[in-house]
Chains A and B, each alone.
Chain A
């Protein structure tokens, strides 16, 4: 008995000692000079090579390790560009075909063995040229070439000729060490946006050649942070001590005292970022683990509110109000995502799309429209997005300036009677309705989406045995089915690459049919003509009118059941000064994070 008691006491002592030691070490860290900010994301990146920065997770890290020519202003909404490595906004020729960009001198890459004496050298215009070339090298597996394909003079020929990095591309030149010239095949008003994306981040040739493919896990750039280590759970970054000193000009960055003063951002005015010594980005898919780590107080400083915690966090939906226990402890902000979710039809599918038979085309059109009328966005919003999402008609989401708030909402309103009438008017009966396959990347949530969809379809008389769930084990397999036109109906999301509706309209441009981005395989000559007319126009009322006309065509043709932009709630500890936003800006805000010593 005595032995057991002694053993129990020893165990308790040991556990207490662990706890005591750890508390001490935490306190020591708190009192040390180092400012460590621990950020969290709900998924993890694969590669940190800029040419593969196709996910928000990769992009978030890439724009902090590397420099891009342009960036988004920290606080200004709608999003606005500003020079980053560039000295100024590009000088554009009158015909819109030649861009000249000066870059800042004396900007250096962080140190690496591949540099002479291991010391980072100055970033030159030629590095930008090299970085864009990398996306077009077929041996690299880059995913960003689509941004400039067919648009920069000579770049496609360069790829065809074997991607020789010492060869010149007439449309992509370093005129001198600090001047870049880009010549376009036709005006491309979105070009400057693409130069703020991780895909265009600037990489040093000697390090890339030294590391080969490993560059994606050991990146070296000239951004505000440098990567110290990276594993499946966390990326550890340290402040780049040589990052150029550019004091924060709050007015220029879009500071609005009404919106931002409560976060303490004004304290950073005039100081040069980055303000923290170390940045940790934790990749936490498990919502309970992320929440417990956040609420613990001494682990991660920032999280978005996980779906399963929303009921515990939200007190009232309209206007959004959080529980006092949350607002007392944490800062918060919320906003619409720059993107949306939608259901799409494959217009090449004989059962739902367009074929050579005009009568059948009209029947199929009625069928698609009836399914759209059956879809209850409002219910979906309540059931899966806590009623916080914004339902909008068409494919121009509220996050872009071309969004039309006055557009008819008929296409997102449920109307069972009208759907039933439409089906019967065009001769659709339970016997002749085609098999409805719901293709998705499989998960519990997607299965729930399907069950809801099945309910909607049942309401218009679609037989249960003709509605089939078709899940895929991962996004790659699902994407393969879509690209190979094997998915007549699918559920997807789109994240905007830049704040311009061209980014969503091009999803319906005929020549972009699969395996391109037009997963709907939608071919409408009128739409294509308008797209070709508008894509070379600078932002203007004329262009907006064309965009909206195209939007209406897609709605009228019932190609897509769209859409809903989700709303995210961001929470962070009160000792952290930040204004988080991972939408289009994709991580530029991390350089402005500061921690108030306790």
Chain B
């Protein structure tokens, strides 16, 4: 299977999509986003001071010129300086994205793997007590506010009012010698991961259960049972494999959000310098340099994820390849 023509075709097809997304986002930013001028003014500004700030921010440039400049920044990955922080945007993101990845990955992986396992069990015992128990916990996870979960877990596991096992703040993954320390990592990431798991497990389990139940009702499962295949073989070899398309879609489309969006609440409450806070601050303040980078990179990531997802679909369902070839 030569995938390169497919990849090139998809990438070319993504150009109008990227242009559309960036244009729309930029339009909203410029005409409906916060005006940073009055955030940056000194205490006794004159009209000249206001005009100076607008020039520094580039607000006095024509829209089309600013948009073309944005496209150039996206192509060169040089997003200039943050309008608020006096830091190159790319430096801010390259420092914060790995932090958010390290923070979110355990919860993301465990949240999906455990959810698939639980969904399989629930499907296997559909309508019986294991299914009902799993679904009850899933609904609880979905119903409780993430903010409440974070505060409660912080009190239970981290504060002096609770078990006091883990830190409240102070994200530091290095040992005293200055090297990356796995123990420090586990020490800092455990409670955020537990909080993420508590919430995401509910949503994921319900979704995967619905996918698997739909698959279980299909004729080929009845045929497999009639042929005398074991439940384990039917579940893992036939049913799970055929359910992988929606599962892959859900997993893959979560990735850009984890990389770029991070988790504002987790980062704020645990003092973790991730990309969630940077994005939130940029939205509230109207730091267009940061917003342009975040929106642009998210769009590019979505295009790449879409591409990779389609390649993986072919592995699990060769019919996709043959249909496209036809």
**Residues on A close to B: CB < 8 A?**
14-15, 17-19, 21-22, 25, 28-29, 38, 46-49, 52, 54, 138-139, 141-146, 149, 213-217, 231-234, 282, 284-286, 288-289, 292-293, 295-297, 299-300, 473-477, 479-480, 483, 497, 506, 512, 515-517
Contact = CB atoms under 8 A, between A and B. Distances in A.
Contacts of B41: 143, 479, 483, 515
B318 interface: no
Contact of A18 (B56, B88, B187): B187
A216 B37 contact: no
28 contacts: A18-B183, A18-B187, A22-B184, A25-B176, A38-B170, A54-B42, A54-B43, A143-B42, A146-B42, A216-B85, A216-B86, A217-B87, A233-B267, A286-B268, A289-B168, A289-B169, A289-B270, A293-B271, A296-B167, A299-B170, A473-B34, A476-B36, A476-B37, A480-B35, A480-B37, A480-B38, A515-B41, A517-B44
B56 A473 contact: no
Residue among A22, A233, A512 facing the most chain B CB atoms (10 A cut-off): A233
B83 to A, nearest CB: 9
Contacts of A475: 38-39
Nearest to A479: B38
A296 B285 contact: no
A293 B169 contact: yes
Q: Top 9 nearest A-B pairs by Cβ distance?
A: A216-B86, A476-B39, A143-B42, A146-B44, A231-B273, A292-B159, A480-B38, A479-B38, A21-B183
Interface string B269-297: 11111000110010011100000000000
B67 interface: no
A474 B284 contact: yes
A295 B166 contact: no
A29 B167 CA distance: 15
Contacts of B86: 46-49, 52, 213-217
A46 B84 contact: yes
A516 B267 CA distance: 38
B117 interface: no
Given A233-B271, A289-B268, 19 more contacts: A14-B186, A47-B85, A52-B86, A143-B42, A232-B278, A233-B277, A285-B268, A289-B169, A292-B158, A292-B160, A293-B168, A293-B170, A296-B158, A475-B38, A476-B285, A480-B38, A483-B41, A512-B44, A515-B47
Nearest to B151: A288
Contacts of B74: none
Contacts of A49: 86
A149 B85 CA distance: 25
B166 A19 contact: yes
B244 to A, nearest CB: 26
B164 interface: yes
Given A217-B87, A292-B155, A476-B39, A22 B45 contact: no
B41 to A, nearest CB: 7
Interface in B159-185: 159-161, 164-171, 175-176, 183-184
A476 B170 CA distance: 31
Contacts of B160: 292, 295-297
B52 A22 contact: no
B38 A477 contact: yes
Contacts of B268: 285-286, 289
B46 interface: yes
Nearest to A494: B43
Contact of A25 (B52, B184, B269): B184
Interface of B: 34-50, 52-53, 55-56, 81, 84-88, 95-96, 151, 154-155, 158-161, 164-171, 175-176, 183-184, 186-187, 190, 267-273, 277-278, 281, 284-286
Contacts of B270: 289
B256 to A, nearest CB: 21
A387 to B, nearest CB: 26
A217 B85 contact: yes
A322 B81 CA distance: 47
A50 to B, nearest CB: 12
B190 A15 contact: yes
A21 B171 CA distance: 15
A511 B34 CA distance: 28
B80 to A, nearest CB: 9
B168 A292 contact: yes
A170 B186 CA distance: 61
B187 A295 contact: no
Contact of A28 (B35, B96, B176, B281): B176
Given A143-B42, A233-B171, A46 B56 contact: no
A521 to B, nearest CB: 14
Nearest to B154: A292
B34 A299 contact: no
A477 B35 contact: yes
A287 B271 CA distance: 12
A289 B147 CA distance: 12
Nearest to B269: A289
A300 B34 CA distance: 34
A231 B87 CA distance: 10
B166 to A, nearest CB: 7
Nearest to A231: B273
Contacts of A144: 42
A296 B46 contact: no
Given A18-B186, A292-B155, A296-B159, A476 B165 contact: no
B88 A214 contact: yes
A358 to B, nearest CB: 31
Contact of B50 (A19, A476, A515): A515
A143 B184 contact: no
Contacts of B286: 474, 476
Contacts of B168: 289, 292-293, 296, 299
A143 B187 contact: no
Contacts of A54: 42-43
A146 B49 CA distance: 10
A29 B87 CA distance: 32
B194 to A, nearest CB: 10
A295 to B, nearest CB: 5
Contact of A145 (B38, B42, B187): B42
Nearest to B51: A138
A22 B167 contact: yes
B40 A143 contact: yes
Contacts of A22: 166-167, 183-184, 187
Contact of B95 (A19, A231, A477): A231
Contacts of B273: 231-234
Contacts of A143: 40-43
Contacts of B154: 288-289, 292
Contacts of B281: 232
A479 B38 CA distance: 6
Contacts of A474: 34, 39, 284-286
B135 to A, nearest CB: 20
A292 B38 CA distance: 35
A299 B187 CA distance: 14
Nearest to B287: A46
A9 B314 CA distance: 40
B187 A149 contact: no
Contact of A214 (B36, B55, B81, B158): B81
B73 to A, nearest CB: 16
